Amino acid sequence: MLVRHAATLATALALAGCASAPPEEPTPVVLAGADLRLPLDEYLLSPDQLNDLGRARVVLTRECMREAGFDYPPEGERVDVGLRGWNERRYGITDEATAAVDGYGVGESAPVGSRTEPTPEERVALEGAGGCIERVEDGQRRSRRPGLDRELALRLAGESFTRSREAPRVRAVVEAWSACVRARGFDYPDPLAPSSDARFAGPATPDELAVAAADLACKEETNLVGVWFDEERSIQRDLVAANRAALAEVREANAADVEQARRSLGP
C-alpha cells in the first residue's frame, strides 16, 4: 500500500510539473528578415534613431562651422541608414521584390545622400584640436555617464550571432540550404556567402538574379531564417537576462541621446 501511494504521489508530482512548465515555443516559419525582432534590438539604436542622431550632428556641425566663417557642410546634406531594421539581412537576403531586381544589391535600402569633401581650410576647422567635430561629439555625449558601456548590446548581438551560427540545428539547416542551392546549380557553403561573391560587385546580372532566386527558394524550402532566428532568439534571451541591469542603462542613455538630437532638429 505504501509503495502504491508513493508511486501515485510521484506520478501526481510529475504531472503537476509538466502542467506548470511553460509550453515550448514552436519554431516560427519566417522568410522576411525585416520583420524579425530579436531581444537585444530593444537595447540598440534603431536605423531611424541613428538617422536622427546623424541629422542632428550635421545641423550642429553646420552651426559650429558658420561660427568659424565657413559654409560647411552644404544645406541639405545628409547620409541616412537605409535599412528598415538590423535583422533585414542578418541571415542573408530575404526580400523577394528587391532580390528579383537587384539580386544581392541593397536597392532602395542604399544610403540616402552623399558626403561633400571639405576644403583644406574647412578640414582644419572640422578636425583640428578643439574643432567642430570634437565640439559636437562632446555635446552629444552629455547624456553618457562615465563608465557606461555603450557597446555592450552590440557586442552581445555579435556574440549571439556567432554562437547561433555554430549551434547544431543551425549548422544542419545551413547544410540543407547549401544542398538545396547546389541542386539548382550553385555552390555556396552558407547563405551569407553569395553577397560576398566578387562577380556580384556591380549592377545585377542574370547570373546574380538566378542565384538570388535559388537562395530565397531554398530559404523558404528549409525554413532557414525561422530556424536560425529561433536559435539566436533563445541565446539572446539568456544574454539579456544575464546583463539586464547594464543593458537597461544603455537603453536609457540611448533614449536620452535621441531625445537630445531631436531637440536639436527642432519641430
pLDDT tens, N- to C-terminus, the chain (267 residues): 333 333 433 433 343 444 344 446 788 888 888 889 999 999 999 888 888 888 888 888 989 999 999 999 887 666 665 667 889 999 999 999 999 999 998 765 544 455 678 999 999 999 998 999 998 887 776 556 777 898 999 999 999 999 999 999 999 999 999 999 999 999 999 999 999 999 999 899 999 999 999 999 999 999 999 999 999 999 999 999 999 999 999 999 999 888 888 888 877
Q: Which three cell numbers stand for residue 243?
A: 546583463
Alpha helices in 96-205 (DSSP H): 96-102, 120-127, 132-140, 152-166, 168-183
Question: In angstroms, what CA-CA distances link 218 with 44, 127, 198, 225, 261?
Answer: 30, 49, 22, 10, 43
Give the SS3 label for residue 112: strand
Do 222 and 85 form a contact (C-beta atoms < 8 A)? no
The confidence score (pLDDT) of residue 39 equals 98
Give the SS3 label for residue 146: coil
Report the alpha-carbon distance of residue 193 to residue 135 in Å, rounded: 41
Do 141 and 221 form a contact (C-beta atoms < 8 A)? no
The confidence score (pLDDT) of residue 163 equals 98
Q: What is the pTM for the complete model shown?
A: 0.78
Do 255 and 47 form a contact (C-beta atoms < 8 A)? no
The confidence score (pLDDT) of residue 22 equals 44
Cell 532566428 sits on residue = 229
Report the alpha-carbon distance of residue 1 to residue 13 in Å, rounded: 18
Cell 537576403 sits on residue = 93
The confidence score (pLDDT) of residue 141 equals 65
Burial 7-40 (b: 16+ CB within 10 A, else e): eeeeeeeeeeeeeeeeeeeeeeebbebeebebbb
User: What residues form DSSP beta bridges with 80?
Assistant: 112
Environment class of residue 94 by beta-carbon count within 10 Å: exposed (0-12), middle (13-18) or buried (19+)?
A: buried
Report the alpha-carbon distance of residue 170 to residue 232 in Å, rounded: 9
The confidence score (pLDDT) of residue 265 equals 81
Other CB atoms within a 10 A radius of the CB of residue 188 amount to 20
The confidence score (pLDDT) of residue 196 equals 94
The confidence score (pLDDT) of residue 59 equals 87
Task: Identify which of 86, 92, 115 has the alpha carbon closest to the alpha carbon of residue 194.
Answer: 92
Report the alpha-carbon distance of residue 45 to residue 250 in Å, rounded: 10
Give the SS3 label for residue 70: coil
Name the E strands within the chain.
none
